[in-house]
Amino acid sequence: MRVIICGSPSWNFDLVVQDEIVMLYRWCRIHGQKLLIIHGGEPGPEAVAERTCRDLGIDRIIHPANKAYGHSAWFRRNQLMLQEHQIDLVIVFTHKLKEGTMEHDMMSRAKNRKRQVKLIDFEAVGKRNSNELEFNPFNGVY
């Protein structure tokens, strides 16, 4: 399973990101799939994803933005992450999804490419199901 992890650089709920990755990892192992995490190497959920994947031995690909493109660098990076990999799922961590943000851009691009998108926002943090046997990576997918 190929999963993009992205989100707000100010996201500070590290355990939520870690839990999501651990549950994905377990789900993939149970279902005989290999997990590959793709992210942009930015602060917030992406930095947490990198540490978590490194600790668990999960393969990952980092797509840093090419800052030579200025502000459009992050939009270009989002497009490249979706184009260069056969993505199964995009997980977006945000405080409040707003049009014009990188999170919104990634969601829109993923939906346009008919990719599954899972939005985890600040309000959803307290409503998570921690029962790993019932975990489905596509629950809550748009």
Tokens for 80? 């490249």
Task: Confirm whether 108 is domain-assigned.
Answer: yes
Please tell me the distance from the alpha carbon of residue 3 to that of residue 120, in angstroms, as a whole number: 14
Task: Confirm whether 141 is domain-assigned.
Answer: no
Task: Confirm whether 140 is domain-assigned.
Answer: no
Q: What tens digit of pLDDT does each residue of 54-111 get?
A: 999 999 999 999 999 998 898 899 899 999 999 999 999 988 766 667 777 888 888 8
Task: Confirm whether 94 is domain-assigned.
Answer: no
Number of domains in the chain: 1
Residue 87 is which amino acid?
A: I
Please tell me the distance from the alpha carbon of residue 49 to that of residue 54, in angstroms, as a whole number: 8
Q: Does position 133 have pLDDT exceeding 70, yes or no?
A: no
Task: Confirm whether 57 is domain-assigned.
Answer: yes
Task: Confirm whether 25 is domain-assigned.
Answer: yes
Q: 86: Cβ–Cβ under 8 A, 6 or more apart, which residues?
A: 2
- Which domain, by its residues, includes 31? 6-67+75-83+101-128
Which pLDDT belongs to residue 132?
A: 40
Task: Confirm whether 90 is domain-assigned.
Answer: no
**Which range among 44-48, 92-96, 116-120 shows the weakest confidence by mean pLDDT?**
92-96
